[in-house]
Amino acid sequence: MVELARRRLGDLEVSALGFGCMSLSGTYGAADDDESRSTLAAALDLGVDFFDTADVYGLGHNETLVGEVLRPVRDEVVIATKFGFTAPPGAEAPVIRGDAEYVRSACDASLLRLGIETIDLYYAHRIDPNVPIEETVGAMAELVAAGKVRHLGLSEAAPATIRRAHAVHPIAAIQSEYSLVTRWAEDELLGTLTELGIGFVPFSPLGRGLLTATLEAIPEGDFRRVMPRFSGDNLAANRSLAERFAGVAADLGCTPGQLALAWVLAQGDHMVPIPGTRRADRLAENVGALEVSLTPEVLAAIEELGLSDAVAGKRFPDALEGLAGR
């Protein structure tokens, strides 16, 4: 295993680049379990030791697959998973639950699927608007006391909610979408995390693939087909943005994806992005971002593109706006 640079999420130390496992369960088109196992093994060989999954990814499939590959090296990896999304029969959209009873049962189910005794980092995937955050985090803290969880996190939580949660039990990490085309976290969230000493785990740091400048038609079964940024005229406009960004990367001698990840990494030592992929070659490319050095001149050139202001379309369609959290 290669030794990668290390970063801290609160008191938890991890590789500076993690691996988001969601795409291994079909979110962005069909996935192959054998290829996924090979990609997870490649991540280990490249020195990645921070793996992010959730009970909702593939409705349990993702945790089962990740657990199968990582159990033999359990002492060498950090496993993060999440709870909160449920799919009641007949519901038009997922329902978020954060009540204490559900927190406990969800944790036990995740441990069983992963086949491990303790989850290293356990997130509330979204905040239940009908349950005080003190109840949710209080139940999570009980899991820490019981030895089922080591560290706590929240995903897509507002700064005021984070402060209340942190007062109940130390929060190690906050996970939210953050990239050159999605920068709302800079408004207040990042300052709050710095103040409280909480790590930040950006998901979709490649803009769900937009910043790689490799997107053509979105295939059947790909979640992005319903997302505004990847539909119709928006997709055409955003491809044009990506091509401009790719020009900066070419001048620097790296790929657009590497430049996008290097930019996120350059925003602070408490940042641990978790790009996902089904392919080992793309994974190796992502890890190469750790070798990309950004000068003030390059950072200025990136800012001049104004990608977050120019990107066309919202993060989620209206019907799925609840997935956006905040």
CB atoms within 10 A of CB 124: 31
247, containing H or E segment: helix 232-252
Three-class secondary structure of residue 70 per DSSP: helix
| Nearest-angstrom CA–CA distance, 217 and 215 | 7
| Nearest-angstrom CA–CA distance, 234 and 209 | 14
| Nearest-angstrom CA–CA distance, 38 and 44 | 10
As a 3-state breakdown, the chain gives helix, strand, coil percent values, each rounded to 5, of 50, 15, 35
pTM (predicted TM-score): 0.93
Catalytic residue chosen out of the listed positions 28, 57, 102, 123: 57
Dihedral angle sign, alpha carbons of residues 47, 53, 57, 58: positive
Give one word for 197, left, alpha or beta, with left for phi > 0 and alpha for psi -120 to 50: left
| Nearest-angstrom CA–CA distance, 23 and 222 | 10
For residue 161, the cross-strand partners are none
Residue 53 and residue 93 in contact, taking contact as beta carbons nearer than 8 Å: no
Q: Which of 210, 209, 214, 224 is nearest to 277 (CA)?
A: 209
Provide the residue-wise pLDDT of the chain in tens; the chain has 326 residues: 678 999 999 999 999 999 999 999 977 777 899 999 999 999 999 999 999 999 999 999 999 999 999 999 999 999 999 999 997 776 777 899 999 999 999 999 999 999 999 999 999 999 999 999 999 999 999 999 999 999 999 999 999 999 999 999 999 999 999 999 999 999 999 999 999 999 999 999 999 988 997 877 777 777 787 788 888 888 888 888 999 999 999 999 999 999 999 999 999 999 999 999 999 999 999 999 999 999 999 999 999 999 999 888 788 776 666 555 55
Would residue 57 show up in a list of annotated catalytic residues for this protein? yes
Q: Which two tokens mark 242?
A: 């990506």
Distances (CA, A) of 114 to 71, 98, 160, 216, 284: 8, 21, 32, 35, 25
| Nearest-angstrom CA–CA distance, 278 and 35 | 7
